[in-house]
A and B are shown apart, each in its own frame.
Chain A
């Protein structure tokens, strides 16, 4: 406790010295961002008929689902009274973005994701319900909801409904992660967070992280299955990643230019913070390593003709750097917003512990969980059943 006092420089209001939102709250927008981004990639094929990314359609949906299932965990772990969290559904305060988000989450999980995945996988589910033996058979039988018909009419209906769901799903994905941005952007008391650009910046950085994640996962799973990745698919994903990145970077630069130009009462304090406490995470990790390098690499691929192997290598490197950069961006928003005093006269330090409820060990486990869920989902609902012969 006393160490908190030692980490303070200048003046902070006495109640501000301890950080309120920890690494778990950094993880949460990171995870929901991957959800929104993966889904939008999937919708590219379904709605905008970008045929090239079809091989990743199902994987993108399963990725979105895995991360969405894991998303509430860091929130529950962070709450002072997690056993009361159901109150958000019983008496939601309609002026609170956090409360309304509970319903956006439910809508997205049940109506958009689960329904769409179920409809797309229904032929496979029915087949697996008939062919599997052992305990897993019960799972498939439940998933069929007792209907084993796969008539042309029903499949055509499924495709139509699925398409409608994807169309609804795009604004829903925007809402899902835009809302997280709004949770920060609407806090007038905190000048680091308060900007109308926040939901848009969050959304585009989500798209960037989601595409990068699916790109990396696709290549990793192909490598594990000893199957050659579809180069047209991978190249297209990389192109969309570059486009999204350029827009995202543009938005962040717009925010920065505004701040520097308007130089309001908070500017000096925030500027000092960026140059000292946030130097490594913002300038080095987010901007140089996490934005300039990946954009440079991806742009290189568009300008110079490279072999398949070279491109694959670049995509892996760019993908990893991107994911690191977007994580750094979440860190800089959440933690950065709490390192300076609202008196604009001081700063505090974030001391991350190791194995407490909000320490970095549980945070690491929370980050691993979605991959475990994804592995289970991929086993349960294989994205490429016709190629399983390999």
Chain B
């Protein structure tokens, strides 16, 4: 069906003069719905997340919600987010210098919750640690991508361009936190996108939405009224593997030394 001349000139004009975002906004305006035009300004946001280990109950809501929201494959080795359980045994009184290390498990990433394996009162320390992409400000995964298929957006989210990724897997190796994987359906890389499609619409991430105890909270470091500023000021927070200097933006409250 031949495109009529007016449509063609409009289309070509848009393509030549407008960025894709502005072109989309124009569509809204032209359709008489200017209020739906893109109100989200990249420069106004710098996204981060707070994870409060003292609140996590290992229910697995976040893992399930993420797989639903982001259509993540259900096999037990593809996770955009997962929960680990740590069992730190008490020091051996007979030999306190002896080598000890925590027992860690994450059965199907915590998707089905955690069955009881340890007992209270035996002197051990047990807790849950949710993990996700840390959306590093100096991300090593972005550094090694040969083509620019993974990048840090101007609003602080490390994203994957699935239309451009070669599936070379270099970034999977470069991530110190193990948060990237190859989606077997597209043979490209996939990882937590901080629910970019939600946070740019004013919603919170799926994992934060379903967390019943508030162990996970999205934060916007560029918003002076965001509660994250107060939280960072009043709690002892850490990032994972700080020696790697990745500029990680997932801040953990109550992070124990045994956490890997």
Contacts and interface: CB of A to CB of B under 8 A. Distances in A.
Interface stretch (B24-32, B71-79, B216-224): B71-79
Nearest to B178: A13
Contacts of A5: 76-77
B34 interface: no
Given A81-B187, A96-B145, A189-B176, 8 more contacts: A13-B106, A14-B108, A15-B78, A79-B168, A95-B144, A187-B174, A343-B260, A344-B260
Contacts of B181: 15
Interface string A338-358: 100111110000000000000
Interface in A85-116: 85, 87-88, 90-93, 95-99, 102
Interface stretch (B159-167, B206-214, B226-234): B159-167
A97 B167 CA distance: 16
Interface string A177-197: 000000100111110000000
B137 interface: no
Contacts of B205: none
A189 B166 contact: no
B145 A93 contact: yes
A156 interface: no
Interface in B218-259: 244
Contacts of B143: 95-96
Contacts of B176: 188-189, 342
Contacts of B77: 4-5, 14-15, 17-18
Interface of A: 1, 4-5, 11-18, 20-21, 78-82, 84-85, 87-88, 90-93, 95-99, 102, 183, 186-190, 268, 337-338, 341-345
Q: Is the interface of B mostly helix, strand, loop or mixed?
A: loop
A98 B76 contact: no
B41 interface: no
B45 interface: no
Contacts of B175: 189
A84 B164 contact: yes
B128 interface: no
A1 B166 contact: no
21 contacts: A11-B105, A11-B260, A13-B106, A13-B131, A13-B178, A14-B77, A14-B109, A20-B169, A79-B167, A80-B189, A84-B147, A87-B164, A93-B147, A96-B143, A188-B140, A189-B173, A189-B176, A189-B244, A268-B99, A337-B173, A345-B260
Contacts of B65: none
Contacts of A337: 173
Given A4-B77, A18-B77, A99 B147 contact: yes
Q: Size range of the interface on B?
A: 35 or more
Nearest to A10: B104
Contact of A96 (B75, B78, B106, B170): B170
Query: Nearest 5 CB-CB pairs, A to B?
Result: A80-B167, A13-B178, A80-B187, A343-B260, A99-B146
Contacts of B147: 84, 87-88, 90-93, 99
B146 A92 contact: yes
B146 A93 contact: yes
A88 B166 contact: yes
Contacts of B189: 80
B10 interface: no
B182 A96 contact: no
Contact of A80 (B78, B109, B165, B260): B165
Contacts of A99: 146-147
A188 B145 contact: no
Contacts of A18: 77
A123 B188 CA distance: 49
Contacts of A98: 144, 146, 168, 170
Contact of A189 (B76, B165, B174): B174
B166 A20 contact: no
B75 A1 contact: yes
B179 interface: yes
A85 B187 CA distance: 13
B50 interface: no
B180 A343 contact: no
Contact of A79 (B108, B166, B244): B166
B148 interface: yes
Contacts of A186: 144
B48 interface: no
Contacts of A79: 166-168
Nearest to A268: B99
B172 interface: yes
